[in-house]
């Protein structure tokens, strides 16, 4: 279960399996699943009934000879210890304990918080892990009786799910893999024909191609759970299916999706949080493969190892994980099993581990990420500058519509940030947080946005003190956007040139999202933001033939939504957004973002160059930044 900063995640809503559960065909399939599992009195389908008979009994040897691995309970065992299960109470992170049962009789229709996540995890049965673990500790059979009784109650009460509402059907469907994992763990100590039949039917439902979620975390869980269930009850066909899906998700992903982990170590879910989560899930998947006698190929292990560097680039010099995609605020130091490489390095501020090999990198999954250094060439680790930018395929899985959006960290502070993630039970907030308006990008007003549109990285060059890159796309109907970026260090700054070309005159806005700890005010055609002793100057630099309009500042607006940071589920913080508006057939906007300490104001001079280019010289922080904006949109730093 998701705990902030732990690398585990709550998942509900919007998934392929969840959407399928809402339809009649899925309801019929679920009915077959649950009815086949509930109250069966026929002969055991996979060999003779276990020694405990149809009802089953406690047996220290129930799992003997089994290669099934108990995959754990996603943290729900810790939140729901045996004493709470005995008391009939259930909770997930962020919610109060709720009475759901009397003895083994559970009210499976409860939804006290109108929260699909809460309902999903109730139907997962993973909250029985506390009782199962208590039996492991004490060998008191009453704890197993309780867990087994509740499991049987679920099977009986959820037969014929077509009669339930959509959310309950979705919870039954989405919970199948987690319920199956719990049943496999229970089987280590509880024998019974009913249990083997329930495991087989749940596994067969997951093995049906209609119920495979694809090459992302849901599919990874389904596949490894299929494997361990097959190992437990001796079903080679289930083992084969689970293994094939795991291999294909990296090496030959179906449906045109990117690999779950590609050759560079990048995860395909477009989210820092889920990159961390998937790192842990794949580590568990490899353990399942080994225990089933089918160790993972070397290529899969190598890709998984490279994830550490991919995640390390998504942290700041302050040790925070960036909230790229659907991600909560988290610390790098809270990632489990850090190893001795890049993750250990960023989690300890460079004190331990080894840094990434490169200072800046392009990941073909859609990331440009870099920093001034890793604390080894004259600057302390915490004093380095860092940035990220997004491009690549359209939104997928847990991504957001953040193409061309930037993040920026300098002077020990986050300067430019994503707006965050609220969870999955508030569709209005989710719609805004996923939108381009919630990111530091150029948006076109009144034009339809295509979330499937790809953004191309057309050029990049990494030089110490001057990383440059350029993107283009047609995500907004009728408009071609281009963004060129110079990420400079010594002095630390961003110089950004945006272009928008349309057949007719269109209004656009260049948005810059700051953390909630900042205040911001207009300053002529620019703006100044402040937090503590740090001031961030947003300077619109006039290009030949342009006249910048005054800046706008928005903070905590609800209609329309704008100016918010969401660091955790259901936690919204007003935060300033600097907006630079413009309108025209062809809009060009050049912006300098210059952070300084104290009251210093950057001094900027410009000079027109032949052909329509511009030379910019800015002095601040005791240093000089000289750059050229060429007519074709190229930015470069000059000596």
**Which segment of 95-99, 158-162, 374-378, 577-581 scores lowest on mean pLDDT?**
158-162
Is residue 211 within 8 A of residue 28, CB to CB? The reply is no
Ramachandran region of residue 285, left (φ > 0), alpha (ψ -120 to 50) or beta?
Answer: alpha
CB atoms within 10 A of CB 521: 12
The pLDDT of residue 66: 61
- Going by C-alpha positions, the residue among 313, 307, 346, 327 that lies closest to residue 397 is 327
Mean pLDDT for the chain overall: 90
Output the CA–CA distances (angstroms, integers) from residue 483 to 444, 501, 505, in the order listed: 13, 12, 19
- Cα separation, 80 vs 72, in Å, equals 13
The pLDDT of residue 384: 98
- Cα separation, 574 vs 556, in Å, equals 4
The model's pLDDT over 286-311, given as tens digits with 9 standing for 90+, comes to 999 999 999 999 999 999 999 999 99
The model's pLDDT over 306-363, given as tens digits with 9 standing for 90+, comes to 999 999 999 999 999 999 999 999 999 999 999 999 999 999 999 999 999 999 999 9
- Cα separation, 627 vs 618, in Å, equals 9
Is residue 242 within 8 A of residue 226, CB to CB? The reply is yes
| Banded model confidence at residue 56, pLDDT cuts 50, 70, 90 | very low
- Cα separation, 572 vs 492, in Å, equals 30
- Going by C-alpha positions, the residue among 224, 179, 221 that lies closest to residue 199 is 179
The model's pLDDT over 80-107, given as tens digits with 9 standing for 90+, comes to 999 999 999 999 988 999 999 999 999 9
The answer, yes or no, to whether residue 583 has pLDDT greater than 70, is yes
User: CA-CA-CA-CA torsion for 140, 146, 148, 150, nearest 10 degrees?
Assistant: -170
- Cα separation, 536 vs 439, in Å, equals 18
Q: Which two tokens stand for residue 334?
A: 């809270």
- Cα separation, 129 vs 81, in Å, equals 8
Q: Which two tokens stand for residue 181?
A: 């994992």
The pLDDT of residue 424: 86
The pLDDT of residue 63: 44
The answer, yes or no, to whether residue 40 has pLDDT greater than 90, is no
Total residues found in the chain within this entry: 639
Q: Which residue has the tokens 């110079």?
A: 486
- Cα separation, 463 vs 466, in Å, equals 5
- Cα separation, 473 vs 391, in Å, equals 9
| Banded model confidence at residue 67, pLDDT cuts 50, 70, 90 | confident
Task: Please state the separation of Cα 87 from the chain's center in Å.
Answer: 35
**Class for the domain spanning 366-601:** mainly beta
- Cα separation, 132 vs 230, in Å, equals 21
Which residues are bridge partners to 596 per DSSP?
535
The answer, yes or no, to whether residue 525 has pLDDT greater than 50, is yes
The answer, yes or no, to whether residue 33 has pLDDT greater than 90, is no
- Cα separation, 199 vs 126, in Å, equals 14
Continuous segment of H or E residues that includes residue 605: strand 603-609
Which residues are bridge partners to 537 per DSSP?
528, 594
**Which segment of 188-192, 197-201, 342-346, 385-389 scores lowest on mean pLDDT?**
188-192
The answer, yes or no, to whether residue 385 has pLDDT greater than 50, is yes
Ramachandran region of residue 463, left (φ > 0), alpha (ψ -120 to 50) or beta?
Answer: beta
Is residue 486 within 8 A of residue 494, CB to CB? The reply is yes
Determine what percent of the chain is predicted with pLDDT higher than 90.
Answer: 85
The pLDDT of residue 253: 97
- Cα separation, 60 vs 29, in Å, equals 35
Q: What is the pTM of this model?
A: 0.88
Task: Please state the separation of Cα 264 from the chain's center in Å.
Answer: 18
The model's pLDDT over 457-514, given as tens digits with 9 standing for 90+, comes to 999 999 999 999 999 999 999 999 999 999 999 999 999 999 999 999 999 999 999 9
The model's pLDDT over 250-259, given as tens digits with 9 standing for 90+, comes to 999 998 999 9
The model's pLDDT over 112-143, given as tens digits with 9 standing for 90+, comes to 999 988 999 999 999 999 999 999 999 999 99
The answer, yes or no, to whether residue 218 has pLDDT greater than 60, is yes
The answer, yes or no, to whether residue 265 has pLDDT greater than 90, is yes
**187 phi/psi in degrees, rounded to 5:** -65, -15
Find the mean pLDDT for residues 613-623.
97
| Banded model confidence at residue 111, pLDDT cuts 50, 70, 90 | very high
Is residue 576 within 8 A of residue 584, CB to CB? The reply is no
The pLDDT of residue 30: 52
Range list of H helices, 425-517: 427-434
* CB-based burial label for 611 (10 Å; 0-12, 13-18, 19+): exposed
| Banded model confidence at residue 34, pLDDT cuts 50, 70, 90 | low
- Cα separation, 113 vs 117, in Å, equals 10
| Banded model confidence at residue 570, pLDDT cuts 50, 70, 90 | confident
Find the mean pLDDT for residues 550-579.
97
- Cα separation, 520 vs 59, in Å, equals 66
The pLDDT of residue 191: 87
The answer, yes or no, to whether residue 207 has pLDDT greater than 70, is yes
Which residues are bridge partners to 443 per DSSP?
509
Report domain extents, the chain. Answer: 1-211, 366-601
The pLDDT of residue 43: 25
Q: Kindly give the pairing relationship between strand 101-102 and strand 105-106.
A: antiparallel
- Going by C-alpha positions, the residue among 202, 224, 198 that lies closest to residue 291 is 224
């Amino acid at each position: 279960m998701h705990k902030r900063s732990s690398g585990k995640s709550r998942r509900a809503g919007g998934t392929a399996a969840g959407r399928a559960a809402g339809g009649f065909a899925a309801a019929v399939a679920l009915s077959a699943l649950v009815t086949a599992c509930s109250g069966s009195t026929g002969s055991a389908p996979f060999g003779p009934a276990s020694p405990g008979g149809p009802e089953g009994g406690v047996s220290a040897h129930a799992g003997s000879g089994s290669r099934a691995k108990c995959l754990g309970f996603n943290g729900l065992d810790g939140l729901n210890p045996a004493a709470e299960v005995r008391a009939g109470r259930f909770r997930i992170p962020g919610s109060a304990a709720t009475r759901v049962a009397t003895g083994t009789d559970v009210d499976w229709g409860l939804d006290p918080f109108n929260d699909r996540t809460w309902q999903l995890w109730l139907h997962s049965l993973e909250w029985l892990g506390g009782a199962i673990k208590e039996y492991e500790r004490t060998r008191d059979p009453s704890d197993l009786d309780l867990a087994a009784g509740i499991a049987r109650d679920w099977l009986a009460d959820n037969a014929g799910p077509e009669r339930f509402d959509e959310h309950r059907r979705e919870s039954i469907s989405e919970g199948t893999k987690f319920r199956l994992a719990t049943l496999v763990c229970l089987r280590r100590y509880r024998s019974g024909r009913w249990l083997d039949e329930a495991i087989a039917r749940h596994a067969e439902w997951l093995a049906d191609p209609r119920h495979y979620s694809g090459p992302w975390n849901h599919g990874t869980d389904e596949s490894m759970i299929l494997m361990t269930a097959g190992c437990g009850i001796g079903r080679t066909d289930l083992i084969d299916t689970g293994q094939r899906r795991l291999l294909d998700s990296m090496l030959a992903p179906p449906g045109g999706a990117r690999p779950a982990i590609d050759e560079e170590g990048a995860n395909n879910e477009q989210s820092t949080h889920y990159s961390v989560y998937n790192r842990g899930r794949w580590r568990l998947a490899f353990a399942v493969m080994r225990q089933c006698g089918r160790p993972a190929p070397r290529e899969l292990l190598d890709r998984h190892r490279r994830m550490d560097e991919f995640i390390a680039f998504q942290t700041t010099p302050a040790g925070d994980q960036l909230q790229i995609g659907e991600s909560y605020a988290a610390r790098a130091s809270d990632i489990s099993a850090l190893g001795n490489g890049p993750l250990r390095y960023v989690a300890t501020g460079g004190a331990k581990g080894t840094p990434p090999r490169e200072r800046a990198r392009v990941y073909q999954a859609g990331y440009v990420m870099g920093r001034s250094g890793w604390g080894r060439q004259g600057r302390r680790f915490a004093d380095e500058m860092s940035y990220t930018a997004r491009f690549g395929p359209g939104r997928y899985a847990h991504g957001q519509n953040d193409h061309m959006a930037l993040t920026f960290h300098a002077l020990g502070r986050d300067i430019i940030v994503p707006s965050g993630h609220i969870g999955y039970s508030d569709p209005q907030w989710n719609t805004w947080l996923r939108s381009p308006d919630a990111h530091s990008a150029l948006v076109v007003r009144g034009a339809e946005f295509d979330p499937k549109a790809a953004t191309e990285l057309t050029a990049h060059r990494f030089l110490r003190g001057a990383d440059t890159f350029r993107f283009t796309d047609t995500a907004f109907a009728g408009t071609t956007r281009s963004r060129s970026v110079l990420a400079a260090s010594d002095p630390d700054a961003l110089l950004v040139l945006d272009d928008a070309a349309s057949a007719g005159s269109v209004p656009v806005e260049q948005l810059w999202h700051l953390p909630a700890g900042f205040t911001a005010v207009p300053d002529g055609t620019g703006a100044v933001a402040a937090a503590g002793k740090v001031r961030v100057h947003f300077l619109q630099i006039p290009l030949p033939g342009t006249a910048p309009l005054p800046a706008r500042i928005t903070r905590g607006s609800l209609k329309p939504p704008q100016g918010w940071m969401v660091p955790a589920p259901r936690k919204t913080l007003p935060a300033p957004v600097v907006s630079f508006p413009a309108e025209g057939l062809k809009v060009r906007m050049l912006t300098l973002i210059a952070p300084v300490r104290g009251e210093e104001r950057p001094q900027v001079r410009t000079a027109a160059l032949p052909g329509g280019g511009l030379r910019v010289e800015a002095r601040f922080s005791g240093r000089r930044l000289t750059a050229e904006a060429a007519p074709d949109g190229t930015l470069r730093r000059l000596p």
